[in-house]
Amino acid sequence: MLSSPLTPGRNRYENQLRALFVVLAGVYLVNCLTPLRLCVDTIRYFGIKDCLEFGCDPNSDAAKDYMPYGYTMLLILLSKLGILRSFSIVLINCAYLFGGIFLVTKMVGLTTRKWTVAVLILLNWTIIKFVTHPLSEMQYLFFSILSLYFFRQFDASRKPGPLVLAFLAGILAFLTRSVGIALFAALIAGLLWIYRKQVIEILTKNKLLIGILVLLIIGVVIFSRLLGLNHYSGVMSNQFQKGLTRFSIIHWHFREWGEIGMNTSIAKAAHYFPGHTGEVFFVGMGILFFALFFYTLFFRKNTVPNIVKIYLLFYALLMFNWPFYDPRFWVPVLPLIIAVAVQAAAQIKNRGGKIIIILFLASYAALGIGAVGYMTYTSLHKEIFARSQANGVYRNEYETRFYGHPESDTAHRFDPLVTNILNRYN
């Protein structure tokens, strides 16, 4: 094990971090008081919900939307219970997040640094931002980590019960986010690795089985339209037709790694850099973080289960082929990334390395506290909220909901769908 017994000094430090976690968790819960935070995808989710719950034109955008129905079903359940409000949504997101953090610290073999991991997760700007939004990130985070946790239990016991639970949780994750295909691939690859000797023996003796597997793959391709898979290939094709290049995709995703690693968005930090040096800095740091992370994951001693390693690899491969940019894409695996990073940092013994880590953590914590504080401030101040949420795109609709009219004299744009959502669910 990489963890060592707690010394008195270490025990005091862990107690302080545990207290800090409780404080941060309390601040997160204060954000249950936020007005309903809307963005493009949240509006899509509410549109799909209304379409399924009340019916809609088959040719409408909501009827043709390809987003999985897992998170929409949660919204419908809350609607049927009469509690579809921002308070309920954020509270459930917090429960998903805290549950995911607990499972990660249990699964990755953390005994002396679990509170360090927990605090660093809560201090990441992407976590506080998206826990307050009606989006599927936290639901997928919880079910995917739960699936990995049960698979880890199966690997240790070889009993069928945890394996069944792992796949059931995996199904819930896939129904929530299509990226769950990476989770299923990891579960199957994990099974094949555990029983690799038996699999090789079976395939050697049963050539027919190989043929059946090939036919299954061909069937998936043929029926991709029915399975909904062709939509994603169509999205990628459309993006490339618009002039997007493979280099641009890789550039975007390294920038995302720079943003989650430096714990701030490039939009917030860009004006502190001259010219395009901010872009170069964030992409460069992203490359560094990515390289160090996967080097640690696969080439340094750690207690990370094989199933987690396989999943993170498949997830990264999928994301680096996804032709869109958003640091939010990495939120579901961020607790796992931070757990691995903390293990790696704990192994550094030289003075110079420790100083670098301390300076980095000080910057990370300061930016994280700022992000949590600002998000909470906007949650409790409607005027600031209306101007800042989604960069002020829905300011007129929010102010009309809050005050009965827009505060801006130049207001002329109103989205009736947004107004309808706010009137019903805010």
Cα(112)–Cα(105) distance, rounded to whole angstroms?
10
Cα(47)–Cα(66) distance, rounded to whole angstroms?
12
For residue 296, what pLDDT is reported? 92
Contacts of 220 (CB under 8 A, 6+ apart): 227, 229
> Per-residue confidence at 405, pLDDT binned at 50, 70, 90?
confident
Query: What single-letter amino acid sits at 148?
Result: L
Using the CB atoms, write b or e for 173-197: b if 16+ within 10 Å.
bbbbbbbbbbbbbbbebbbeebeee
Kindly report, residue by residue over 267-298, the tens digit of the pLDDT. Answer: 888 888 888 899 999 999 999 999 999 999 99
Contacts of 139 (CB under 8 A, 6+ apart): 70, 71, 74, 93, 96, 176
- Tell me what the pLDDT averaged over the chain comes to: 88
For residue 60, what pLDDT is reported? 87
For residue 415, what pLDDT is reported? 83
Segment 332-346 shows an average pLDDT of 93
Q: Please, what's the largest Cα pairwise distance for the chain?
A: 78
For residue 7, what pLDDT is reported? 60
Kindly report, residue by residue over 11-61, the tens digit of the pLDDT. Answer: 788 889 999 999 999 999 999 999 999 999 999 999 999 999 998 888 888
Cα(142)–Cα(146) distance, rounded to whole angstroms?
6
Contacts of 333 (CB under 8 A, 6+ apart): 144, 311, 312, 315
Helices 180-194 and 137-157 meet at what angle, rounded to 10?
A: 10
Kindly report, residue by residue over 229-266, the tens digit of the pLDDT. Answer: 555 566 666 666 677 888 999 999 999 999 999 999 99
